[in-house]
Structure 1
Amino acid sequence: MTDQPTQETLANLSREERRFEPPAELAAHANLTAEAYARAEADPEAFWAEQAQRISWAQPYEQVLDWSNPPFAKWFVGGRLNAAYNCVDRHVEAGRGDKVALHFVGEPLGDTRDLTYAQLKDEVSQAANALEELGVEAGDRVAIYLPMIPEAIVAMLACARIGAPHTVVFGGFSADALASRIEDCGAKLVITADGGYRRGAASALKPAVDEALVKLGDEGPVEHVLVVRRTGQDVAWNAKADGGVDVWWHEVVGESSTEHVPQAFDAEHPLYVMYTSGTTGKPKGILHTTGGYLVGASYTHWAVFDLKPETDVYWCTADIGWVTGHSYIVYGPLANGVTQVLYEGTPDSPERGRWWDIIEQHEVSIFYTAPTAIRSFMKQGREIPDARDLSSLRLLGSVGEPINPEAYVWYRSVIGGDRTPVVDTWWQTETGAIMISPLPGVTAGKPGSAMTAIPGVGADVVDDEGRPVPNGSGGLLVLTRPWPSMLRTIWGDDQRFVDTYWSRFKEQGYYFAGDGAKRDDDGDLWVLGRVDDVMNVSGHRLSTTEIESALVSHPKVAEAAVVGAKDEDTGQAVCAFVILRETAGDGGADIVAELRQHVRKEIGPIATPRQVMVVPELPKTRSGKIMRRLLRDVAENREVGDVTTLADASVMNLISSGLGAGKGED
């Protein structure tokens, strides 16, 4: 790897002086207090053993951690459990069956459904019986390709109940992406729907499954396709009764018994495979197992969100096709017995205030969303949320990428009414659960900083040689010891697992996350994004995140993306793409010069953008991450590359057509 950041070159972060102390009431009754840090640091294994008591074990474990063959960890060795039992049955057995588990809100207005824990248990049991009837056994893989409807959660838990690892593929992915994932993990069954609702229209899903099966051919692994009727669209049908593969959910699951005895599996039994993009183009199947993952997801959900399951109404806006949906919609929240909102659609359908209406209606108290959503609301202005009663909110969370300080402050002020803590969480598909975050009852929030590793987790910022950097310096973000929810391997490729995550700092035994980070003068952590997104300008390595934050701090800017483009004089030059707030109008002729000067003032002359381009939208994946690779293509006047993973592939046409030759230059 070349052009890695070093401690000198990533130390340019602008100062952040604002602090928000924990509310006194929250701090007085916080689930975790400051003493947890020292207790966890003194004996991490004892701390994790304490957290393991949060879940029910059918057979107690004999050893907390087996790290005899690093980096291949085994957690809670010898223990046996069932993830679905932990998420539904035990709450019913404890007398909480009438408690609402899911407030489902479909995108069409009025399309709502509440499921209690008792009802969820019945539906999961029915689905488990149906899967077994279709020949699925423990160890068989199941692909799930569904919209954000209750059946998606039911399907995941039914797989967990019978020990069949699931791989959930986001419903917006193409037939090619679906086929590659089915093939890689050898999925025996696909669970899908006729379609789902998105932006006011029915969006088809089953045709992509049909196309994927054609691509896989007659030798493909899929034996059955189980189809939920969601929209009523016409679909091509290859009925099982006629020798085909298609079966209706309502016929097979709906007619199954609600009685099903969950089987206990080893703590290291595979729970799911989640695919994430690989630099080689071949997706990486991240394997998570059952015991450690469930402990990590339930502990972090309880600790980071200060969860009070008896009274809180929780809402995470992620899709279950991403790891955030796995850990903080399905396994963490349901293991903790909380009542939560499940929303099918987009934030602005049928109107821009849809999310705030849902918060008001269901009196949501904990809200967890992505910075990209927050910035899109900043662009619209505060009038829309101000028209709703959001006083039920007591805690806000941010996930997916570093949050700009200005977006953080807007989120806390406008959505949180200047009273709610914001937990800015850093973690990855690979880590399975939150690793770095403020604790809302302990930490004084600092806008833009993920602050510190949570109790039980070891994290550091190191230089190229693996040495910790001093305060005020930047480097590489590493995790310094194993943790229960860690990935166990890459599906079918142990060597790639070792090479990708553990080879860089093999001597120290560190997990390298691929992110750059900085310790500020107080010792708090700032995640600076992927190391690949660091620019080398005249020998200075600059973080794209830092310059983007400077741009978003300007009152006319709602969102910004920065890339490094080749430059004959400086090696790379800073190129910025900005979306203006609606209140800024078109920004006026002087906006480019104004923004270049603003970055110069906030960070320094070396960070001044060569170009600032005003654009209507930015290219984002469906999980909300900006695809800077495509913007680099534009900045360097290359043909735009593969856009299949974009939420809206037409965005690149909008950007390219909107940028006339030289437009946006100073």
Structure 2
Amino acid sequence: MSSLKTQLLAGERCDVPTLEWYNQHIPVPAIDHWWQTESGWPMIANMIGVETLTIKPGSVGKAVCGYDIKIFDEEGNEVEANQQGYVVVKLPLPPGTLLDLWNDSPRFKAGYLEQFPGYYFSGDGGYKDEDDYIYITGRVDDVINVAGHRLSTAEMEEVVASHPSVAECAVIGINDALKGQIPLALVVIKLNDEIENFQLEHEIINIVRQQIGAVASLRNVVIVNRLPKTRSGKILRKLMRSIADGDQFQIPSTIDDEAIIDEITEVLQKHEIGTFNKNNTLTN
């Protein structure tokens, strides 16, 4: 440890409870950042080789040189500080970023350039604070609609992760016949923790109600041995959502272990969740 100066993070965003745990155990700064395969290199970071910024829990840093990053509302207007919206990048993009999709320019334009003309649409949501620190809240398609209320699964994940028995978690929106969608929390508990699923579910549901409100409608929390991830550490939420909803899916080529698909399926079957719940007519 004496030679370690900085811990650089990758894969999933670093939530506040994880950073707090890290700071209690590791005596070197944890540097988060944000980028996409399409960008080729970080778009938001704490550029320690240029100037080390104060670390703000939950933030991935500030825009890297070469990127003009803004937060837009649905109409393409820049929002005020601490207001959530769509993360976009002003064109042109710097060298090293994607130029097109192979043999499919119309799809490239539709997916990245048409929603906000003059800007690259990242597909992520987030916000800036008054100091221009940027916070990524997750993919915009991870926002779920519960009886007309739009809820961020990233916000719920942060609350679920605050439970002392939870090592990591994922919250996804699954189809529901009554409310359209409802959240489902899948959690991995800490090593040697022996909490029962029923107790954990009860406690997490209460925490979410206290911090977000009953509108969140979280009523299912299941313990899993592990979460499906890519080899770079990104949680495959869309895959779990497809399993729970009974939709067809392709196994991502980047998945670290295909066997986990059967593991997740067995847990959902055991708890009769989503398409495995005979009373949920929307998924049957």
TM-score strictly above 0.5: yes
Q: Secondary structure at the match of 2:22?
A: helix
Within 5 Å, give how 1:462-473 maps onto structure 2. 462-473=72-83
Partner of 1:439: 47
| Greater relative contact order structure (CA < 8 Å, 6+ sep) | 1
Q: Which structure: greater helix fraction?
A: 1
Q: Cα offset for 1:569? A: 2.8
Does 2:95 correspond to 1:484?
A: yes
Output one character per residue of 1:320-349: Cα deviation in whole Å (capped at 9) or x when no partner.
xxxxxxxxxxxxxxxxxxxxxxxxxxxxxx
Query: Structure 1 residue 424 and structure 2 residue 32: aligned?
Result: yes
The equivalences for 1:285-324 within 5 A come to none
Distance in structure 1 (CA, Å) of the matches to 2:88 and 2:198? 44
Q: Is the 8 A contact 1:614 1:664 kept in 2?
A: no
What is residue 188 of structure 2 aligned with on the other side? 579
CA–CA separation in structure 1 for the residues paired with 2:105 and 2:242? 33
C-alpha change, 1:604 and 1:657, in structure 2 (3 Å) is same
Alignment of 1:368-517 (within 5 A): 390-414=1-25, 416-417=26-27, 420-440=28-48, 441-482=51-92, 483-506=94-117, 509-517=118-126
Q: 1:644 to 1:571 in 2, by over 3 A?
A: closer
Residues 467/561 of structure 1: CA separation in 2 closer, same or farther (3 Å cut): same
Larger Rg: 1
Tell me the alpha carbon deviations over residues 413-465 of structure 1, each in whole angstroms, 9 at most, x when there is no partner. 42x32xx2222111111111111112344421112211321233210110111
> What is the alpha-carbon distance in structure 2 between the residues aligned to residue 639 and residue 475 of structure 1?
29
Cα displacement string for residues 118-167 of structure 1 (whole angstroms, at most 9, x for unaligned residues): xxxxxxxxxxxxxxxxxxxxxxxxxxxxxxxxxxxxxxxxxxxxxxxxxx
Structure 2 residue identity aligned to 1:431:
S
The one-character-per-residue Cα deviations of 1:528-584 (angstroms, maximum 9, x if unpaired) are 222121111122222222211211121100111111112233221111111111132
CA distance in 2, matches of 1:624, 1:601: 30
TM-fit CA distance, 1:622: 2.3
Aligned positions of 1:614-633 closer than 5 A? 614-633=223-242
- Residues 612, 664 of structure 1: 8 Å contact kept: no
Does the aligned pair in 2 maintain the 1:630–1:640 contact within 8 Å?
no
- 1:216 match: none
Matches within 5 A, 1:535-574: 535-574=144-183
Q: Point out where structure 2 has 5 or more consecutive residues left out of the alignment.
A: 275-284
Query: RMSD over aligned Cα, in angstroms?
Result: 2.3
Give, in angstroms, the shift of residue 408 of structure 1: 2.2
Counterparts of residues 195-344 of structure 1 (less than 5 Å): none
List gaps (5 residues or longer) in structure 1: 1-389
Residues 518 and 603 (structure 1), Cα distance of their counterparts in 2 relative to 1, 3 Å cut: farther
Give the structure 1 partner of residue 222 of structure 2. 613
Task: Identify if the C-alpha distance between structure 1 residues 662 and 498 changes in structure 2 by more than 3 Å, giving closer, same or farther.
Answer: closer
Pairwise CA distance, 1:598: 1.5
Query: Would you say how many aligned residue pairs link Structure 1 and Structure 2?
Result: 270
Q: 2:258 aligned to 642, 649, 654, which one?
A: 649
Query: Deviation at 1:615?
Result: 1.0
| Aligned ranges 1:70-89 → 2 under 5 Å | none
Q: What SS does structure 2 have at the residue aligned with 1:527?
A: strand
SS in 2 for 1:505: coil
Q: Once the two structures are superposed, what CA deviation does each residue of 1:183-210 show, in whole Å capped at 9, x if it has no partner? A: xxxxxxxxxxxxxxxxxxxxxxxxxxxx
Cα distance change of structure 1 residues 651 and 446 upon mapping to structure 2, 3 Å threshold: same
1:505, 1:409 → 2: CA distance? Answer: 36
DSSP-derived class of the 2:75 partner = coil
**Alignment counterpart, residue 142 of structure 2, candidates 513, 533, 547:** 533
Give 2:103's aligned amino acid: G
Q: Deviations over 1:59-108 (max 9, x none)?
A: xxxxxxxxxxxxxxxxxxxxxxxxxxxxxxxxxxxxxxxxxxxxxxxxxx
Distance 1:430 1:642, change over 3 A: closer
**Amino-acid identity (%):** 38
Once the 2 structures are TM-superposed, how far is the Cα of residue 511 of structure 1 from its aligned partner? 0.8
TM superposition shift of 1:597: 1.1
- Judging changes above 3 Å, is the alpha-carbon distance between structure 1 residues 512 and 659 closer, same or farther for their aligned structure 2 residues? closer
1:602 is aligned to 211
The amino acid that maps onto 1:479 is V
Whichever residue aligns with residue 225 of structure 2, its letter is P
Counterpart CA distance in 2 for 1:567 and 1:521 is: 38
Report SS of the residue matched to 1:654.
helix
Paired letter, 2:220: Q
Q: 1:652 to 1:608 in 2, by over 3 A?
A: same
Q: What is the CA–CA distance in structure 2 between the aligned matches of 1:648 and 1:461, rounded to whole Å?
A: 35
Determine if contact 2:184/2:221 at 8 Å carries over to the other structure: yes
